[in-house]
């Protein structure tokens, strides 16, 4: 795992598919997420507690010859979750995310364990981000 790198906003600093740990202005952190899921640019009009202030790389993107583990969720360059987000209103998207939080939390003891809870965490984060991030 790499060292923490201070961040003051801008374009995503790592290649697509890179897994990062991010630290937010409010002191919270997210242990391992795809870097593409975050809004790296800061809102210039106000400081947000969700602004990323530091990050570190915890996993490299897959090599081109490898098949990504979730390749079945893609058609060409479009990932299924992005198509869903684009098709829904902000309110519908929030409901979709909340339903998935419930689903992954519900099944945690019987299928997926911590992996299910991490998926629930992703959907919860997306629900909270909502319109502000425009997509995941």
Judge whether 31 and 19 are in contact, CB under 8 Å: no
pLDDT tens string 94-133: 999 999 999 999 988 887 788 888 889 989 988 888 754 4
Question: Is 52 in the same domain as 4?
Answer: yes
- The verdict on pTM exceeding 0.75 is no
State the Cα–Cα distance between residues 27 and 102, nearest whole angstrom.
Answer: 26
Domain, as residue range, for 11: 1-61
Q: Is the dihedral of CA 129, 130, 132, 133 positive or negative?
A: positive
Judge whether 32 and 60 are in contact, CB under 8 Å: no
% of the chain exceeding 90 in pLDDT: 26
What pLDDT is attached to residue 44? 61
89 within a domain of the structure (yes/no): yes
Report in angstroms the alpha-carbon separations of 89 from 43, 67, 83, 84, 130.
22, 32, 12, 10, 10
73 within a domain of the structure (yes/no): no
Judge whether 21 and 59 are in contact, CB under 8 Å: no
Question: Is 6 in the same domain as 43?
Answer: yes
Question: Is 56 in the same domain as 95?
Answer: no
- Tokens 């990504």 belong to 68
- Helical segments of the chain, H only: 80-87, 90-107, 114-133
What pLDDT is attached to residue 136? 40
134 within a domain of the structure (yes/no): no
User: If pLDDT is split at 50, 70 and 90, which confidence band does 92 have?
Assistant: very high
Judge whether 104 and 117 are in contact, CB under 8 Å: yes
Number of domains the chain is built from: 2
Question: Is 6 in the same domain as 50?
Answer: yes
pLDDT tens string 30-88: 887 888 888 888 766 566 777 889 999 998 776 666 666 677 888 888 888 889 988 99
53 within a domain of the structure (yes/no): yes
């Amino acid at each position: 795992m790499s060292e923490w790198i201070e961040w003051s906003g801008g374009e995503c600093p790592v290649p697509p598919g890179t897994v990062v740990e991010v630290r937010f202005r409010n002191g919270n952190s997210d242990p391992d997420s795809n870097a593409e899921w975050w809004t790296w640019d800061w809102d210039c009009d106000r400081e947000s507690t969700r602004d990323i202030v530091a990050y570190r790389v915890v996993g490299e993107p897959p090599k081109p010859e490898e098949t990504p583990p979730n390749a079945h969720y893609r058609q060409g360059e479009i990932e299924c979750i992005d198509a869903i987000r684009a098709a829904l209103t902000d309110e519908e998207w929030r409901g979709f995310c909340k339903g998935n939080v419930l689903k992954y939390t519900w099944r945690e003891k019987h299928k997926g364990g911590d992996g299910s809870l991490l998926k629930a965490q992703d959907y919860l984060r997306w629900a909270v981000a909502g319109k502000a991030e425009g997509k995941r």
